[in-house]
Amino acid sequence: MPNRASILKQQFLQSVASPWEKLLPEKLVHSLLAGEKITYYQSIYTPIVTLWAMVSQVLDPDKSLSQAVKRMSTWLSAAGVKSPSSDTGAYSKARKRLPEKLVQQLVPIVAEALEKEVPIKQQWCGRRVRVLDGTTVLMSDTHENQAEYPQHSNQKPGCGFPIAKIVVLFSLLTGAVVSAGIASLATSEIVMSRLIYGNLVPDDVILADQAYGNYVDLVLVKERGADAVFRKNHLRKTDFRRGKKLGIGDHTVVWNKPRQCPNHMTIEEFEALPSSFIVREV
């Protein structure tokens, strides 16, 4: 018997709109568009239809534009609406017209809606757990993308694709993206992540790799009232003979503030940090 995820995915593939009417309601999309004073032509490819089609396209094993148009035509015909041409050009242009800011606003709204559907008892100790990670992605080779997200510096001009660095905050419970940042390859992942910390609320737990296992990031997360579970940076040594012993390979110890201000902080930000911080090492 297929699991619930498989059943839902099958529903997504069978209909462009049905599952999204709850997570991406048309009224919400129109409200966000109106708030940004964004207008559009009353064509077949309205923002909501285009949005539903794009999400459904991503979930389809056949991610082609033609398959997306075919599936959308079926839904529109069933609704008594004129079907679009089988040519993918109009749909492709509609995707490009979809406001980037609209998608950015919908991300946290959808993530919150998904979490509300999950019983609190499925949370870890009744707490929300977030996962933070970063990666890079290749982008379409356009002049605009090259200017905003330059290719790698070790590549000759015209011999590489634009590269963007992304940092994403996920919900461990649903796998949904809660927040994300995108910048050029030269931008520090740590700097990008610290902007995302603003999405944390008291009692949240955030997981991340050793890139974040440093004094500054632990303090910044704690200032949000959240707890961080970070893999410790390999350059920092651990001595379980020190501190307060909690068990075998488990203690709390005092970390002292670095002597020098990191390159990615201002002097004012650095001076605002406490002189020491209690950390649990396991």
Q: Which stretches does DSSP call E strand in 140-203?
A: 163-171, 177-184
Q: Looking at the predicted structure, is the pLDDT value of residue 270 above 60?
A: yes
The predicted-structure confidence for 130-140, as pLDDT tens digits, reads as follows 999 999 999 88
Token digits of residue 199: 């999405």
Q: Would you kindly state where each structural domain of the chain is located, as residue ranges?
A: 4-103, 118-281
- Range with lowest mean pLDDT among 157-161, 173-177, 270-274: 157-161
Kindly give, in sequence order, each residue whose CB lies less than 8 Å from that of residue 163, ignoring residues fewer than 6 positions away.
Answer: 136, 137, 138, 139, 149, 150, 151, 152, 184, 185
Average pLDDT score over residue span 142-165: 89
- Range with lowest mean pLDDT among 59-63, 190-194, 226-230, 258-262: 59-63
The predicted-structure confidence for 85-143, as pLDDT tens digits, reads as follows 778 888 888 888 888 888 889 999 989 988 988 888 899 999 999 999 999 999 889 99
236 phi and psi angles, rounded to 5 deg = -95, 120
Burial, 45: exposed, middle or buried (Cβ in 10 Å; 0-12, 13-18, 19+)?
buried
C-alpha torsion sign, points 47, 52, 53, 57 = positive
**Three-state SS for 56?**
helix
For the whole model, what pTM was predicted? 0.80
Question: So what's the architecture of 118-281 in CATH?
Answer: 2-Layer Sandwich (3.30)
